Amino acid sequence: MFVYALRRILYTIPIAIGVSLVCFALIHLAPGDPLSSVIPEGASAEMIAQIRTAYGFDRPLPVQYLKWLGHVVTGDFGTSIMTRRPVLAEVLPAVLNTLTLASAAVLFGFALGCLFGVISGYVAGTPTDRSVAAFSITGVSIPHYWLGMVLIVIFAVNLNVLPATGMGEGGSGSFGFNWDSLQYLILPALTLSVIPAGIIARAVRGTVAEVRKQDFMQTLYAKGLPGRRVFVHVVKNALPAVLAVMGLQLAQLLGGSILVETVFAWPGTGFLLNNAIFTRDLPMLQGTILVLAMFFVLINLLVDILQTAVDPRIKRA
């Protein structure tokens, strides 16, 4: 177990380096000069050369990469071209907001997915089972950014019971656990939850049906255990796999919330990315992508190690 965890952690290092390399390369893939938004119009050649030197863009690429990596490792992600503030200072609060949204969405999705998944796992092959399957296919097929618009039309425009966009009065970025803040979270979280709900429902259904087919189930019923006590055994056996799916979904949503954040003007990383792209604020773009990708790598690592720790049946080489 410890050997596996150690190996898995060590294996993450080259992946993390690769990810940073991709983030670095992204900027140099950009058509045109990456400094085009900094250099004022009609600047002299001398001035352009000066700016290039100031940003270190006159060095060879490998040197630039190593220098950049050195800064990143010490927490210096550069300065936003638009706001002139350190990138990290902008990204971290946004990551927190996205994490709030994504966690709420995964919890919603987990509750819905488990409910539907357990029901259909118990009645595999019946019409109920098929309608749950239809539900989970709907969850993964629906363009969630569109669902967000539909929910705004229903709950904010027609019924007028929930706010349409933003994260609080006056667009404040601080989130608290009271109705004033939570009412802003409901619609975006619900919108974002349809994908994990569909995927978790499918995973739970599969695992529950699988567990119920095993021989020890017969034994439990044969020795006279009531259904609800058998259910505890089903849950115990199905949980590790389902928790892993949930963890991976949380990781996917961290990077996948950009569309929903745009619809609901949620001040998270997606919102930040969108702004950075359209103002061609490349350090900002690079920083946000790197932070999100690193979160993704870390969560994947945690899920893998936790799953191995929780479920002794998983023996990894």
Contact 116, 132 (CB under 8 A): yes
Among the listed residues 315, 134, 133, the one whose alpha carbon sits nearest the alpha carbon of residue 209 = 133
Comparing CB distances to another protein, the nearer of 96 and 235 is 96
State which of residues 140, 162, 186, 225 lies at the interface with another protein (CB under 8 A): 140
- Mark 278-317 with x for binding to another protein (rule: CB under 8 A) and - for no binding: x------x---x--xx--xx--x-----------------
| Helix and strand element counts for the chain (H, E) | 12, 0
The identity of residue 305, as a single letter, is I
State which of residues 145, 210, 239, 279 lies at the interface with another protein (CB under 8 A): 145
State which of residues 22, 49, 61, 66 lies at the interface with another protein (CB under 8 A): 22
β-sheet bridge partners, residue 86: 79
- Mark 98-137 with x for binding to another protein (rule: CB under 8 A) and - for no binding: -----------------------------------x---x
- For 135, 228, 235, 276, the CA distances from 219, given in Å and listed in that order, are 33, 15, 16, 60
Taking the complex as a whole, the smallest distance from the CB of residue 3 to another protein amounts, in Å, to 21
Among the listed residues 81, 113, 90, 93, the one whose alpha carbon sits nearest the alpha carbon of residue 208 = 113
Q: Does 252 bind another protein (CB under 8 A)?
A: yes
**Looking at 52-60, 70-78, 236-244, 247-255, which segment touches another protein (CB under 8 A)?**
247-255
Q: Cα(251)–Cα(98) distance, rounded to whole angstroms?
A: 11
Contact 266, 100 (CB under 8 A): no
Taking the complex as a whole, the smallest distance from the CB of residue 268 to another protein amounts, in Å, to 12
Among the listed residues 294, 254, 279, 287, the one whose alpha carbon sits nearest the alpha carbon of residue 86 = 287
State which of residues 104, 197, 254, 272 lies at the interface with another protein (CB under 8 A): 254
Element (H, E) at 24: helix 2-29
Taking the complex as a whole, the smallest distance from the CB of residue 227 to another protein amounts, in Å, to 28
What are the start-end ranges of the H helices in 38-86?
A: 45-55, 61-73
Give, to the nearest 10 degrees, the angle between helix 282-310 and helix 227-256.
160
State which of residues 225, 277, 305, 306 lies at the interface with another protein (CB under 8 A): 277
**Looking at 13-21, 45-53, 173-181, 182-190, which segment touches another protein (CB under 8 A)?**
13-21
Comparing CB distances to another protein, the nearer of 29 and 222 is 29
In the complex, the residues that contact another protein under the rule CB under 8 A are 14-15, 18-19, 21-22, 26-27, 29-31, 133, 137-138, 140-147, 149-150, 152-153, 157-158, 251-256, 258-259, 262-263, 273-274, 276-278, 285, 289, 292-293, 296-297, 300
